[in-house]
Amino acid sequence: MSAELLEIHLEEQDLGRSLRQDVRAGLTAEEKWLSPKWFYDARGSQLFEEITRLAEYYQTQAERAVLVDRAAEIATVSGAKTLIELGSGSSEKTRLLLDAFTRHGDLGTFVPLDVSVSALRESTDRIAADYPGLRVRGIVGDFTRHLDRLPAGGRRLVVFLGGTIGNLLPAERGEFLAAMRAALESGDWLLVGTDLVKDPAVVVPAYDDAAGVTAEFNRNVLQVINRELGADFDPAAFDHVALWNPEQEWIEMRLRARHPMRVRVLGLEVVFAAGEDLRTEVSAKFRPEGIAAELRQAGFVTNEFWTDPAGLFGVTLARA
Ligand code: AVJ
């Protein structure tokens, strides 16, 4: 059943090419980096789901609290016929919206888009089974590249939850929002979740949990590169590092080489000095006025901005 629920826009070769490009660019840069996109193989997606259940990782519960309170309003105000979810993963929180639309709206189609085939296959199967009246069409794709492939027509609500927009660097974020606006028509809606700036003593443990799940999630990206590109990284030779960058107001995850190393990948020999970092993720934290300004700049009009009672996480409903 799963095959007909998925549209594979991102062909395997295409994914492979984009992984190779990223790895080559990132590992030959002065300051080594990798895109957080590549965390999410089957194991990485599973580890991320585990992270969302950690006491330290407040985002998931906080965003869920907003959606529990506001899902009915989102369904009524948007009047959407098509719900498109970017970076959908397990679509667990999205069920709150699907439930609300079932009660208050007349949603016809659900379109989750994700780079992780495994996560998408599981979520489309489950959602199709649990919402029999709904047309489910999963798209294997990259939200920074495939916004032109979203289904057209009907009133659309695009949801981008979990704070994933924070994984884009500021310039990429501007480009992404502009491309998103260009892909929509006026009258369509955007719902975006953003983690908010707060005491680093709260943020840092969310990315460096006591049980070490985030460390394992971080190191898993090296296994992905070993498997997909035949590299010879030794994941155990890297320490997990989570750093708060106060100027940029973002968290950086890094993998720090414990000793000098040479890694073979894509015909390159990548040299790490002892203590050298490989940046694997940036996760930006936002201020309410900043979110509104970035959306306005891209041509969106903010309709509502909500937070959970503790003010940890923000959800914005904006109109194209
Ligand atoms: C799912 C991308 C929002 O940046 O907080 C969790 C991923 N990284 N722990 C985030 C993540 C480390 C997460 N996003």
- SS3 per-residue string spanning the chain: CHHHHEEECCCHHHHHHHHHHHHHHHHCCCCCECCHHHHCCHHHHHHHHHHCCCCCCCHHHHHHHHHHHHHHHHHHHHCCCEEEEECCCCCCCHHHHHHHHHHHCCCCEEEEEECCHHHHHHHHHHHHHHCCCCEECEEECCCCCCHHHCCCCCCEEEEECCCHHHHCCHHHHHHHHHHHHHHCCECEEEEEEEEECCCHHHHHHHCCCCCCHHHHHHHHHHHHHHHHHCCCCCHHHEEEEEEEECCCCEEEEEEEECCCEEEEECCEEEEECCCCEEEEEEEECECHHHHHHHHHHCCCEEEEEEECCCCCEEEEEEEC
CA 179 to chain CA mean position, Å: 17
- Going by alpha carbons, the residue nearest to atom 5 of ligand 1 is 283
Give yes or no for residue 283 CB within 6 A of ligand 1. yes
Which pLDDT does position 12 carry in this prediction?
66
Phi, psi of 97 (to 5 degrees): -70, -45
Per-residue pLDDT of the chain (320 residues; tens, 9 = 90+): 444 688 776 666 788 899 999 999 999 999 999 999 999 999 999 999 999 999 999 999 999 999 999 999 999 999 999 999 999 888 889 999 999 999 998 899 999 998 888 889 999 999 999 999 999 999 988 898 889 888 987 899 999 999 999 999 999 999 999 999 999 999 999 999 999 999 999 999 999 999 999 999 999 999 999 999 999 999 999 999 999 999 999 999 999 999 999 999 999 999 999 999 999 999 999 999 999 999 999 999 999 999 999 999 999 999 99
Q: How far is the CA of 132 from the centre of ligand 1 (A)?
A: 31
Is 240 within 8 Å of 51 (Cβ atoms)?
no
Q: How far is the CA of 134 from the centre of ligand 1 (A)?
A: 29
Give yes or no for residue 280 CB within 6 A of ligand 1. no
- Going by alpha carbons, the residue nearest to atom 1 of ligand 1 is 164
> In this structure, are strands 156-160 and 82-86 parallel, antiparallel, or unpaired?
parallel
Over the range 235-264, which residues count as b (16 or more CB within 10 Å of their CB) and which as e? eebbebbbbbeeeebbbbbbbebeeebebe
How far apart are alpha carbons 48 and 59 in whole angstroms? 12
Is 110 within 8 Å of 85 (Cβ atoms)?
yes
> In this structure, are strands 189-195 and 261-265 parallel, antiparallel, or unpaired?
unpaired
ipTM surpassing 0.90: yes
CB 133: neighbour CB atoms within 10 A? 8
Which pLDDT does position 162 carry in this prediction?
96
Q: Which two tokens stand for residue 124?
A: 């489309």
> In this structure, are strands 313-319 and 189-195 parallel, antiparallel, or unpaired?
antiparallel
Give yes or no for residue 40 CB within 6 A of ligand 1. no
Q: How far is the CA of 280 from the centre of ligand 1 (A)?
A: 11
Q: What value does the CA radius of gyration of the chain take, rounded to a whole number of Å?
A: 19
Which pLDDT does position 1 carry in this prediction?
45
The sign one gets for the Cα dihedral 195, 303, 309, 49 is negative
Which pLDDT does position 2 carry in this prediction?
45
Q: How far is the CA of 80 from the centre of ligand 1 (A)?
A: 28
- Which residues have C-beta within 8 Å of that of residue 259, sequence separation ≥ 6? 237, 274
